[in-house]
Amino acid sequence: MDKDTEDHLVTLAKVFEKFREGNLKCRPEKVNLFQTKLKFLGVVVTQGQISPDPEKIESVKNIKPPQTIKQLREILGLMSYFRKFIRNYAQVAKPLTDLTRGNTKKITWSKIAQNSLDHLKKALTSEPILCLPDFQTGQFVVTTDASTKGIGAILSQIINGEEKVLAYTSRTLTPGESNYSATQLELLSIIHHLEKFKHYLVGRKFKLRSNHKSLQYLQTFKKPTGILARWILKIQDLDYEFEHLKG
């Protein structure tokens, strides 16, 4: 018996023990053991990688411009489910999400909306692949960015000398955040995404990348107050090395 099989058996024993403790049952016909490839909740999991289910992607290819708000919301629901595969999803999808606001049931379709839809379709149909985290080895890397359109980040990990993407995340700005300076926006992106990925980062040293020296700005305050003080508190227990990206 090879090591992978032994490890798999140990993992299965732990899973079944948890089932027993919780008095949970599973149907034998629903159980597939010793698989190298598995479809689960719209994604395909293989050895160390995860990608969208090809059947779901086929439906994305066939998406036409929506005629109603209901149709648009259905499209956005599908796209949002796979948003971790799409870099800067929130910013790219914003022209479409803006159309769903208000009480109107009709859509005024525009070239901007079509470009947004085409961008999302291309991103999902180009066979995006993310890697699964390895908590035993490899340094995590968080790369953040910000603009007047929103904030975004990439969670990656250096495995065997190669940096591999684990997830993309993004969101648009609130009305109040739209008034932030460039430095404040970069700080917002850093704080928000370190909080989002905290379960990967706590207890281990990771690399933090940003194209703005905003952290140095934050660290110049000897007695910060208000939102700056709250931001410092959120990351003070994290162990990171900062890398400034030019540009």
Rounded to a whole number, what is the largest CA-CA distance in the chain?
63
For residue 41, being part of any structural domain is answered with no
The string of DSSP codes covering 134-163 is -SSS-EEEEEEEEETTEEEEEEEEEETTEE
The band of 226, judged by pLDDT with boundaries at 50, 70 and 90, is: confident
For residue 153, being part of any structural domain is answered with yes
Same-domain pairing of 142 and 220: yes
Q: Which of 120, 145, 155 is nearest to 50 (CA)?
A: 155
pLDDT tens column, 147-175 = 999 999 999 999 889 999 999 999 999 99
Same-domain pairing of 198 and 226: yes
What is the pLDDT at residue 217?
66
For residue 43, being part of any structural domain is answered with no
Mean pLDDT of the chain: 89
CATH of the domain at 98: 3.30.70
Which range (29-33, 74-78, 108-112, 216-220) has the least confidence? 216-220
Same-domain pairing of 228 and 195: yes
Q: Are 92 and 119 in contact (CB under 8 A)?
A: yes
CA 233 to chain centroid: 23
Same-domain pairing of 240 and 140: yes
Same-domain pairing of 20 and 78: no
Same-domain pairing of 95 and 21: no
For residue 44, being part of any structural domain is answered with no
Which one of 104, 125, 146 terminates a domain? Answer: 125
